[in-house]
Amino acid sequence: MYRDPVQSLAPQQHDHIASTMAMPAATRPLRVGLIGIGTVGAGTFRVLARNQATIAGRAGRGIEVVVVAARNLARAASVVGTGVALTNDPMQVATHPEVDVVVEAAGGTGPAREWLLAAMAAGKHVVTANKALLAVHGNELFAAARQHGVALAYEGAVAVSIPIIKALREGLTANRIEWVAGIINGTTNFILSKMRDEGLGFAQALEQAQALGYAEADPAFDIEGVDAAHKITLLAANAFGMPVHFADAQVEGITALQGLDVACAEQLGYRIKLLGVARRQGDAGVELRVQPALVPTTHLMAHVNGSMNGIMVKGDAAGVTMYYGAGAGSEQTASAVIADLVDVARLDGTNAAQRVPHLGFHAHAVNDKLAVLPRAAVHTRHYLRVPVHAAQDIGAVGAWLAAQQVPVAQVALAADKALPPGSGAQVLVLTDTVAQATVDMAVHALAAHPSVAGPVTTLRVEMLDA
């Protein structure tokens, strides 16, 4: 990345940059160095330019991009014009003496880490929408920000146009957060919506998502649940005052999901969504997981469709609050990035102890001992689809599960209209809340039952109630 020969900034400097150096920090514009001028970078530049008066009125000072690092300088110039210095060396931006805050909009977890560490060591504030970088290297980067007394802001890294980080760190600051859950990946939500509404298989729905630009050519991070895991990890850290624990998250994507289960869920009064869930279980630890799960069709979350995102937070004082909006897009991400820049502009020069902490809790209050619970210890309701040799075997399935200490709440046969040709009878089971370990053992035992005709499918059921 960025391997072109380094170009000096000197020939492209402008008098207005030098003239602002003598101005007091509170009155001169906040000077931004932008690394990357792709989707996020270009959107940020456009929105800053278009809404500069409004933004300055809210920030109390102007915010202007003074230098941009890009691989393709000609393309960068077509976006930013002639009034901005250009370079193909991101490290020049990270350490430039005439930059107050560095916006990292290039992505990746390797070079970006080095740029941000260098920027903070040089006393620069940092804004990024790079959720993978923060999920993998967040603990190191937040520690560096504290060490150097600078801000590290990342609202755009989680739900883009939804100000969920600000809600957790500020709006809900009086609350002991009990859980955070949401649809935080627009690509998978689009795919699941197509599977439900049009009866498409997973592969067909993915092709449509790629054709419309909702999914990358290599969609693995989205469809395997990794992107959502990056985001729920950051939400959990802010909700519960814990370090970033991405490596401990339980992650399951939607690649194995069958259209049959989408149809059977509808029959039972549920819709399948890819959910990120962070739930505190007292002092025992935190559930941190991503998985396709059934949500009641009467629930608001079941109606977050297409590429939209929806997040719910349960606090002990506020109760359940819900946040809805676009989870991707150039200017949608720019909205969050610029909101972070406004915060930096307002607080630049203040004592670091007076700012909102990076993870919502000051360092001395972060609970390093709060662990992520293992998969077996997670307690939820469950959906099981059991292929059987004959419809009459429905009673045997329910009885066998009950004998395995699974609390069965409902047993039904899949309706004929839900079944593809030649699939055979399917028994559908909904359980009450039960430990994952109990369900796993019961499913293993059920596989040997003479009535069972094939692999048993299991999905969690999330009620998301108050």
Rounded mean pLDDT, 296-306 = 97
Rounded mean pLDDT, 349-354 = 82
pLDDT for residue 13 is more than 80? no
DSSP 270-325: EEEEEEEEEEE-TTS-EEEEEEEEEEETTSGGGG--TTEEEEEEEETTTEEEEEEE
pTM for the model stands at: 0.93
Q: Kind of pairing, strands 101-104 and 30-35?
A: parallel
To the nearest whole percent, how much of the chain has pLDDT over 90?
87
314 among known catalytic residues = no
Q: Residue 316's pLDDT is what?
A: 97
Kindly report each contact of residues 46-52 with a partner whose C-beta sits within 8 Å and lies 24 or more positions away, as own/partner: 46/79, 46/330, 46/331, 46/334, 47/331, 47/334, 47/335, 47/338, 48/334, 48/338, 48/341
Among the listed residues 378, 369, 151, 149, the one whose alpha carbon sits nearest the alpha carbon of residue 243: 369
Q: Residue 225's pLDDT is what?
A: 98
Q: Residue 348's pLDDT is what?
A: 80
Q: Residue 466's pLDDT is what?
A: 52
To the nearest whole percent, how much of the chain has pLDDT over 70?
94
Q: Residue 26's pLDDT is what?
A: 56
pLDDT for residue 17 is more than 70? no
| Chain centroid, CA 120 distance in Å | 24
Q: Residue 201's pLDDT is what?
A: 93
Among the listed residues 218, 212, 169, 160, the one whose alpha carbon sits nearest the alpha carbon of residue 191: 212
Cα–Cα distance measured from residue 274 to residue 279, given in angstroms and rounded to the nearest whole number: 16
User: How distant, in Å, are the alpha carbons of 184, 313, 377 from that of 176?
Assistant: 22, 11, 22
Neighbour tally for 175: CB within 10 Å = 17
| Chain centroid, CA 324 distance in Å | 13
Q: Residue 222's pLDDT is what?
A: 97
Q: Residue 408's pLDDT is what?
A: 97
pLDDT, tens only, 367-414: 999 999 999 999 999 999 999 999 999 999 999 999 999 999 999 999
Rounded mean pLDDT, 227-233 = 98
Which backbone phi and psi does 427 adopt, to 5 degrees?
A: -95, 130
Residues pairing with 295 in the sheet: 271
Rounded mean pLDDT, 140-147 = 97
Q: Residue 350's pLDDT is what?
A: 84
Q: Residue 375's pLDDT is what?
A: 96
pLDDT for residue 335 is more than 70? yes
pLDDT band at 423 (very low <50, low <70, confident <90, very high): confident
Q: Residue 338's pLDDT is what?
A: 98
Read off the amino acid at residue 393. D
pLDDT, tens only, 71-84: 999 999 999 999 99
Rounded mean pLDDT, 218-245 = 97
Asked whether the beta carbons of 290 and 252 are under 8 A apart, the reply is yes
Among the listed residues 80, 75, 87, 165, the one whose alpha carbon sits nearest the alpha carbon of residue 129: 165
Among the listed residues 208, 206, 233, 234, the one whose alpha carbon sits nearest the alpha carbon of residue 220: 206
The helix or strand, by DSSP H or E, that contains position 413, with its residue range, turns out to be strand 408-413
Quote the DSSP letter at residue 414. P
Residues pairing with 436 in the sheet: none
Q: Residue 16's pLDDT is what?
A: 41
Please tell me which residue in 231, 273, 369, 417 is annotated as part of the active site. 231
pLDDT for residue 3 is more than 90? no
Q: Residue 415's pLDDT is what?
A: 94
pLDDT, tens only, 27-44: 789 999 999 999 999 999
Average of per-residue pLDDT values in the chain: 93
The helix or strand, by DSSP H or E, that contains position 345, with its residue range, turns out to be helix 330-347
